Structure 1
Amino acid sequence: MNCIVIVCDTLRVDHCGPYHQGRPVNRVMSPEQPDWVVPTPNMDRLAARGTVFEQAWAGSTPCMPARRDIYTGRYEFLERGWGPLEDDDYDLPRQISGSPNGSLTRQLAQGYPVSYMVTDHFHLWEQGAGNYHMGYTGFEFIRGHEADAWKTDPVDFPCPDERDHKVERHFRNVHLTRKSESDYFCAQVFTHAAEWLKVNQAHENFYLHIDCFDPHEPWDPPEEWLKKFDPRGYAVGKWTSMVPYDRWENHYTPDEMRHVQARYAAMVALTDHWLGTLLDKMDELGLWDNTIVIFTSDHGTYNGDHGRIGKLQTHQHDACGHIPFIIAHPHHGRGERRSQLVQLVDIYPTVLSAVGRPCPPDRHGVDLLPVLRNAQAPTRDYAILGMFGKSVSITDGEWTLHQSPVASNQPLYWYGHSTAKFIPYGLGPFENGRRAVDCPSWPMPTWLSDKRHDPSERINLLQTRPDKLADMQRALAAKLAELKAPAEQLERLGISGQSG
């Protein structure tokens, strides 16, 4: 069986057709969203062939921690933050294809599937995380997105953001290389992936990993796509392609905020449009009969929800933590939906099962192929997610607890040899396999939500439901024990006295 995994960065679940099902965005999850419907016909097309998981949750956030969950099948955020793969990680492409950089002929003769990555996600090769591509049989990088240090030509170019911001690199890059819509990054990613399928379709049991940085910022869609959501297009006052990770009222008027939401929606619609290039190629080549396709995102983003915009700054409420997750299987679950809890760590064992490779022990993920075959097959009782050193969230799909650390945010340790580069933390010397971490206190109060009656998590039941708070804290303590998380996490979170 072949397997294709598609990860679109920063894709809100309520902007995806299989989840909004034609409803205006403000009636799906968050009333702070606009009243428009975001058309995603190709996500709908994929869902019609596959199974839509309604209770899919991220794990470690943001971008690269989520990818380490995917590449190792283990939650990263309880042990360290943003960083590279470690030497003792059983990363997914190596489990599929064996040792890289050898003879492809020998690899195939030994029965290993071919693995290939197509991406424009520059974090994969920059300092602080730059080795996620190394295990593949082959890879293709699309250059130039966001802060990719690529073009240096001393030319003048339009840049809506401040010139001292790293995104200045993006606008220099696109000024020198972008001539038409087909040069937009999501277009290049899916076009290259489709071309790879055409040339490599004869391989047996291949694994294609597509990591598309869109619809992550910068949000600079073609104007005709923007006008679908804001008829003014770019004929507005000052606009920027990046957003501050903050309360939006500190930076925007309501009209300006609506324009930001329009640019994000346009990037989602554009990304979906070019996803169709890949799906068309699968139709043309008849690959649906022997290929599993997994479509998901690393996380969402706040876009007015809880008064905020951007990521990182508060708990993993639905706008960030609830993600799209669709699996199209040749024989099972066509056009169906599932309510089991699934997470990004599940990609690892599912892919290995699909391509016929063994799964190493001590993984946190669940093979989802049995769930496609049997709608009653279990996955997990609780999903867990968070960002290193911040709050830890746990949900059973009906209740969600966002447990904040104690005021000192201690004790906290960073496990592994890597150091904090992209997102800095105060790290001590490496001793006994870990580094002590000096992490600022977390300003957000612990939050308890009843999602059956409050799906957008606007009401904190911390004080009015102490019984349920205790239940969820016990569940969190038990989950951390099950995962063999560092013991000090219970003390840091103030739940060391809870029992499973």
Structure 2
Amino acid sequence: MRAVMVMFDSLNRHLLPNYGCDWIRAPHFARLSEQAVTFDNCYAGSLPCMPARRELHTGRYHFLHRSWGPLEPFDDSVVGLLRKRGVYTHLCTDHGHYFEAGGATYHTQYNSWEFARGQEGDPWKGRVEDPDVPESLSGPKIGDLWRQDWVNRPYLDSEEKQPLAVTVANGLSFIETNREQDNWFLQIEAFDPHEPFFTQQKYKDLYPHSYTGKHFDWPDYGKVKETPEEVRHAVYEYAALLSMCDAYLGQVLDAFDRLDLWKDTMLIVNTDHGFLLGEHRWWGKNIQPLYNEISHIPLFIWDPRYGRAGERRDSLVQTIDLAPTLLHYFGIKAPKDMQGRSLHPVIEEGQPVREAALFGIHGGHVNVTDGRYVYMRGPGDPANGPLHEYTLMPTHMHQPFDVGELADLELQEPFEFTKGCRTMKIGARPFLNPYLYGNLLFDLEKDSAQNSTVDDPEAEMRMIRLLARLMRENDAPPEQFERLGIPRDGVVGEESLLAEKRKREDLFFVDLGIGERWTPDGRNRYFLLKCLAPANLRESADAKLAEYLKAREVPDVGADAVASFAVELFGGDAGAAALLRRF
């Protein structure tokens, strides 16, 4: 038995021809649907990048207990389990997060691995002098990430040098070398089409359009503030990179044809999540509600045992199902801590394996879907707490937890899945607050684009019960129920839902008692400020704003006035004020 996984990062389902997009040039994705089963109802689970990979390895949700982090000592990695049972495992990737503090335990699960350098802000080439960049450059300046990207780009001046090309070439080399061998698993994992949307001109030429604006191939996560022309240009830049991904997927499919791998080799093509390209007036994937553009993801599987090609499945499935699917394929029993279910009944007969899917990001909405409704449950209070990290590996994306975070850590008694291990219980510092958006209920049958929420208390109460059940099955920390303002059994009455809405309205429609006149943007900005502010500042904000407005004789409270006040409220903290401007 052999298996190949081709994984892309930030691959948008809604921009693939397999799911109805008629303008993207992706013939090999279309070809894939002719040779595999296409899943129409697949959802992500834990977001973003490394949380998604942790659940890819372990077959269980992690976002209720942990943010971005490595595999834990008690985790069951599907790659490690395959390796222990004599299946050779190999990783070819250009995904730099594997080699940072917050991801450094993943690639070591494989027998061997290859890393292609140069994606995003990969600290690859050293240059003391600042790089040359377009004068009109707009993009996220996150530490050295943005600068390093422009140091790297000159070294990627031809297609064969780009990390995507190198990654796929390494994977094809592994296949050629081991074509006569049995019992192996190959993971070809591409960082593309993740931002920045950097590719070669021949792919850009597939999408000719008139554009004279600023250099723009790396949207900053936040509300769309660009012109329609700039947004359209960024979408075309993404499309060009997606077409390059398609070309290299085609090389893998060609190898399957040439070497007749279809007869005995599983193929999985998947992603971790999607990406908002201006839809819902947002860029990105992790600070806004996790709309379907982010959470509803593509999935394709060829299983040679059943020979199902050119077929579609509408059963609800998730990323956590891939680990047990691989174990079943190789004849290995899934450990008890894997919550996912093998997809072989879905592939063979279309038999459902789950009633509902849970998904989210640590500290964000806890989301649930039953395939028709999507319910996004936010915190019951703007404090967005209590919230903790449970870990034996206290690292963030780039560095360990700082000593301030660790000063008040406690030891947590074991969870069901920690195999008797106690973990550190560390106060969390989420960078987002879903109280901004409230609780959102969408009826996908009537509004697949999620343009508007529905007011249906019966459906909302049912979805809360479903959400609570999945949380209990995940052995969610008790404070997560407290944070969301729901009981452990999930039984919530209509009066409770109405009280939540009134509480939120009272926070939004503030009256300072000084005869002030609010603009709609001003109210929105002030509500945002109070949600993002620490509790001690939030409690005194109204009085301080009233003093601020009277001292400056500001009659109309608009967005600019609130933004200026925010700098004063946060004690001149430019970072906090900048965060406010992103929304």
CA distance in 2, matches of 1:398, 1:312: 23
CA distance in 1, matches of 2:78, 2:308: 25
The more displaced of 43-52 and 256-265 is 43-52
2:323 matched to 1:348? yes
CA distance in 2, matches of 1:10, 1:441: 22
Per the TM alignment, residue 303 of structure 1 is displaced from its structure 2 partner at its CA by 0.7
Q: Which residue of 1 aligns with 2:169?
A: 191
* Equivalent pair of 2:96/2:122 in contact (CA under 8 Å): yes
Per the TM alignment, residue 201 of structure 1 is displaced from its structure 2 partner at its CA by 1.6
CA distance in 2, matches of 1:4, 1:347: 12
- Secondary structure (helix, strand or coil) at the match of 1:340 reads coil
2:483 matched to 1:492? yes
Q: Which residue of 1 aligns with 2:469?
A: 478
Q: Which residue of 2 aligns with 1:3?
A: 3
Per the TM alignment, residue 2 of structure 1 is displaced from its structure 2 partner at its CA by 1.0
* Equivalent pair of 2:100/2:398 in contact (CA under 8 Å): no
The more displaced of 218-227 and 72-81 is 218-227
Residue identity matched to 2:446: H
* Equivalent pair of 2:46/2:61 in contact (CA under 8 Å): yes
- Secondary structure (helix, strand or coil) at the match of 1:79 reads coil
Give the one of 129, 144, 149 matched to 1:170. 149
2:343 matched to 1:357? no
Per the TM alignment, residue 423 of structure 1 is displaced from its structure 2 partner at its CA by 8.1
Supply the RMSD in Å over aligned alpha carbons: 2.0
Q: Which residue of 2 aligns with 1:282?
A: 256
The more displaced of 76-85 and 275-284 is 275-284
- Secondary structure (helix, strand or coil) at the match of 1:6 reads strand
- Secondary structure (helix, strand or coil) at the match of 1:145 reads coil
- Secondary structure (helix, strand or coil) at the match of 1:151 reads coil
Per the TM alignment, residue 129 of structure 1 is displaced from its structure 2 partner at its CA by 1.6
Residue identity matched to 1:388: H
Per the TM alignment, residue 5 of structure 1 is displaced from its structure 2 partner at its CA by 1.3
CA distance in 1, matches of 2:204, 2:429: 43
* Equivalent pair of 1:10/1:301 in contact (CA under 8 Å): yes
Question: Any residues of structure 2 matched to 1:449-464 within 5 Å, and which?
Answer: 449-461=442-454, 464=455
CA distance in 1, matches of 2:86, 2:395: 34
Structure 1 residues 183 and 155, CA gap change in structure 2 (3 angstroms): farther
Question: Any residues of structure 2 matched to 1:226-237 within 5 Å, and which?
Answer: 226-232=204-210, 236-237=212-213
Q: Which residue of 2 aligns with 1:14?
A: 14
CA distance in 2, matches of 1:446, 1:61: 19
Q: Which runs of 5+ in 2 are unaligned?
A: 413-422, 492-583
The one-character-per-residue Cα deviations of 1:415-448 (angstroms, maximum 9, x if unpaired) are 1122252289966424222223244643221100
* Equivalent pair of 1:114/1:203 in contact (CA under 8 Å): no
Residue identity matched to 2:8: C
Q: Which residue of 2 aligns with 1:384?
A: 358
CA distance in 2, matches of 1:260, 1:458: 22
Q: Which residue of 1 aligns with 2:242?
A: 268
Per the TM alignment, residue 72 of structure 1 is displaced from its structure 2 partner at its CA by 0.8
**Which protein is bigger by CA-based radius of gyration?**
2
Q: Which residue of 1 aligns with 2:546?
A: none
Per the TM alignment, residue 356 of structure 1 is displaced from its structure 2 partner at its CA by 2.3
- Secondary structure (helix, strand or coil) at the match of 2:229 reads helix
Residue identity matched to 1:289: K
Structure 1 residues 158 and 281, CA gap change in structure 2 (3 angstroms): farther
CA distance in 2, matches of 1:283, 1:295: 16
* Equivalent pair of 1:206/1:355 in contact (CA under 8 Å): no
CA distance in 2, matches of 1:4, 1:95: 16
Per the TM alignment, residue 153 of structure 1 is displaced from its structure 2 partner at its CA by 4.0
Question: Any residues of structure 2 matched to 1:20-419 within 5 Å, and which?
Answer: 20=20, 23-24=21-22, 37-98=23-84, 112-154=86-128, 158-160=132-134, 161=137, 165-176=144-155, 178-232=156-210, 236-249=212-225, 252-330=226-304, 331-375=306-350, 377-407=351-381, 408-419=383-394
The more displaced of 295-304 and 411-420 is 411-420
CA distance in 1, matches of 2:488, 2:342: 33
Q: Which residue of 2 aligns with 1:29?
A: none
- Secondary structure (helix, strand or coil) at the match of 2:166 reads helix
Q: How many equivalent residue pairs?
A: 466
CA distance in 1, matches of 2:133, 2:72: 37
The one of the two structures with greater contact order (alpha-carbon pairs below 8 A, sep at least 6) is 1
CA distance in 2, matches of 1:61, 1:156: 33
The more displaced of 150-159 and 490-499 is 150-159
The one-character-per-residue Cα deviations of 1:218-253 (angstroms, maximum 9, x if unpaired) are 112222312322434xx633113321111112xx11
CA distance in 2, matches of 1:96, 1:18: 31
Per the TM alignment, residue 385 of structure 1 is displaced from its structure 2 partner at its CA by 0.3
The more displaced of 238-247 and 448-457 is 238-247
- Secondary structure (helix, strand or coil) at the match of 2:47 reads coil
CA distance in 1, matches of 2:368, 2:298: 18
- Secondary structure (helix, strand or coil) at the match of 2:169 reads helix
Structure 1 residues 397 and 150, CA gap change in structure 2 (3 angstroms): same
CA distance in 2, matches of 1:494, 1:95: 38
Residue identity matched to 2:50: M
CA distance in 2, matches of 1:346, 1:388: 20
Per the TM alignment, residue 467 of structure 1 is displaced from its structure 2 partner at its CA by 1.3
User: What is the TM-score of this pair, normalised by structure 1?
Assistant: 0.89
CA distance in 1, matches of 2:254, 2:270: 19
Per the TM alignment, residue 165 of structure 1 is displaced from its structure 2 partner at its CA by 4.9
2:469 matched to 1:469? no
- Secondary structure (helix, strand or coil) at the match of 2:393 reads coil
* Equivalent pair of 1:191/1:278 in contact (CA under 8 Å): no
